[in-house]
A and B are shown apart, each in its own frame.
Chain A
Amino acid sequence: MSLAPLTQVRNKAVNPPANKLVSKLVNKQGYQSFQIGQFKFERDEYFAHILYPGNRHIVPIEAFLRALMRDIAWGFFYGTVNFDRVFGTINHYGTVEMFVGLNNTAYRSVHKEYVETFSSKDLKRVFEAVIEDWTNAEFDPFGAPAETGNAYGLKQGDNLKAVQRQRLSAKRMVGLPGDLKMRTEEDGFPVNRAFADVPQDKPELHPAPGFEGQVYAVNLFAHLSRSDVTWNPSVVSVVRDSLLCATTEEFVLPVIHGNDRVEWLVQFSDEIIWDVEDKITGMPACKVIMKPGDVAAMPADIRHCGYSPKRSMLLMWENNDGTLPHRHASGELAPYPVEF
């Protein structure tokens, strides 16, 4: 199905600093409201309300906080982060488009989409303020449902430790001296309940003197078994722009990720089922069922959402080349990585 051209004028102006747009008004449920550009964000006991000129969009608060947490943690990620089938962000690496209905056939067909562009820094600052205020003490947006309290109700404390986690990125390889540290018990990373049977043995290292930092290996699966977050990839090995991003998954990916380049998935353990749709229209394309050892590409013209019935280990393999979004969008590169 083809869509009408985007008629909404995209505001390319950089908006005023976000700290001038954060409202200090507290509603009767105890939550602050926030504004950036013409978007306003309000929450009550059960819902996030996204108000924009002429209408509003409502998202259940737990789903909203889980999606918002990933958008913040990933720095708006590669391409589109759809919070649901209506609201989301598109990363332009320096600026971000925030939209309602842009990737929704019904909205687009009657020109009801709405888009504004912000500097990434400003939008991130507002999003961080929202997640800090709206996340109650017992809720961890990174946690699997079985591991966290609920997100609902009146304002009750905060969980800054959970929502201010830093994204973990190795410069060369996790565990190397001076690089990203391996997760350990001593640093507060116990083995996750779902990975109690994952071996914690260490590789045997026999470096000759002077080669300790080069003759090196780590137990990546043990590192993953101690992850305290879900659906939050961290870079574990780097070859130029080739980034191995390992992650543990449980329940549902809180966003529908729209690719602006090809990414690859390698299932390390257990199973994930992916729903794949056309990136713009949302028309279903396929289901990809991934079991251990399976490898699949996610093309540059799709969006996908994953379901992990048991906590599983997944490798996301990304190409960090900053020219790729334009090369795919311009048609220079096919959306598929291999022709055969």
Chain B
Amino acid sequence: MSTPTYFGSLNDFKKGGVTVINDDPKHYVFSNVFEVASKSKPYEKVAVGKNLNYVIEAVRAEGNSPWYACEHDEAALVMDGEVEVHYVKPDRPQTPAGKEGTVKLAGEPAGQKMGWVKVRRGHMALLPKGAAYQFRSAAPGVMLVQTILGDCTVEKWGEICQK
């Protein structure tokens, strides 16, 4: 029998870390998505990785999110919990041409309902370009979102990273 596979969760995570020999731990920008989400507001999109203009964000899923849209594809990977993603094809573009990153909308846009998915830990949902979407989660969960740095991205490296 093999050793059980250990996935972390919002309520059960053990953090590793950087043990320095001859370097600065800040160079490794070390954080933990469960710890970040445990201290975040619902749907606060906190950057935990940044590669020039690209980011991966830790998102605490809890209740209904605002409606969002994006000019390019994004992807959401559930790390803990269960989340529904509801999609609408807006009648009119919701984002300025060339705008990068997630755009928060004032509300559900007028348009055609595209359907929805229910995703759990380990499931990855496509957030297709041009669509509007909303996350719904009955209980606190955690998602990792692959996107581009945008107006909704929150950068607070000094608070979340090992120093």
Contact = CB atoms under 8 A, between A and B. Distances in A.
A293 B49 contact: no
B: contact size bracket: 35 or more
A321 B117 contact: no
Interface in B6-23: 6-8, 13-23
A220 B5 CA distance: 15
B137 to A, nearest CB: 14
A340 B158 CA distance: 6
A205 B32 contact: no
A290 B16 contact: yes
A286 B25 contact: yes
A214 B70 CA distance: 14
Interface in A74-117: none
A329 interface: no
A309 B135 CA distance: 36
A266 interface: yes
A25 interface: no
Contacts, number: 235
Contact of A338 (B29, B79, B120): B29
B28 A286 contact: yes
Interface stretch (A16-24, A43-51, A52-60, A239-247): A239-247
Interface string A168-200: 000011101000000000000000011111110
Contact of A215 (B18, B26, B31, B116): B116
Contacts of B122: 198-199, 219-222, 268
A129 interface: no
B117 A242 contact: no
B136 interface: no
Interface string A213-242: 011111111100000000000001111111
A203 interface: yes
Contact of B28 (A203, A238, A296): A296
Contacts of B28: 276, 286, 288, 296-299
Contacts of B52: 319, 321, 333, 337
B27 A211 contact: no
A215 B87 contact: yes
Interface string A293-333: 11111110000000000100000011101000000000001
A204 B35 CA distance: 28
A297 B122 CA distance: 22
B155 to A, nearest CB: 8
Contact of A203 (B16, B35, B117, B144): B117
Given A240-B148, A290-B16, 7 more contacts: A196-B2, A205-B115, A217-B85, A276-B28, A287-B18, A293-B15, A297-B28
27 contacts: A193-B2, A206-B116, A214-B128, A216-B125, A217-B123, A217-B125, A219-B122, A220-B123, A242-B54, A269-B7, A270-B6, A290-B16, A291-B8, A292-B8, A295-B30, A295-B48, A296-B29, A297-B27, A310-B5, A317-B51, A317-B56, A318-B51, A319-B54, A335-B27, A336-B26, A338-B29, A340-B26
Interface of B: 2-8, 13-23, 25-35, 48-52, 54, 56, 58, 72-75, 77, 79, 85, 87, 89, 112-126, 128, 131, 142, 144, 146-148, 157-158, 161
Interface of A: 172-174, 176, 193-199, 201, 203-208, 211, 214-222, 236-242, 244, 262, 264, 266-271, 276, 283-299, 310, 317-319, 321, 333, 335-338, 340
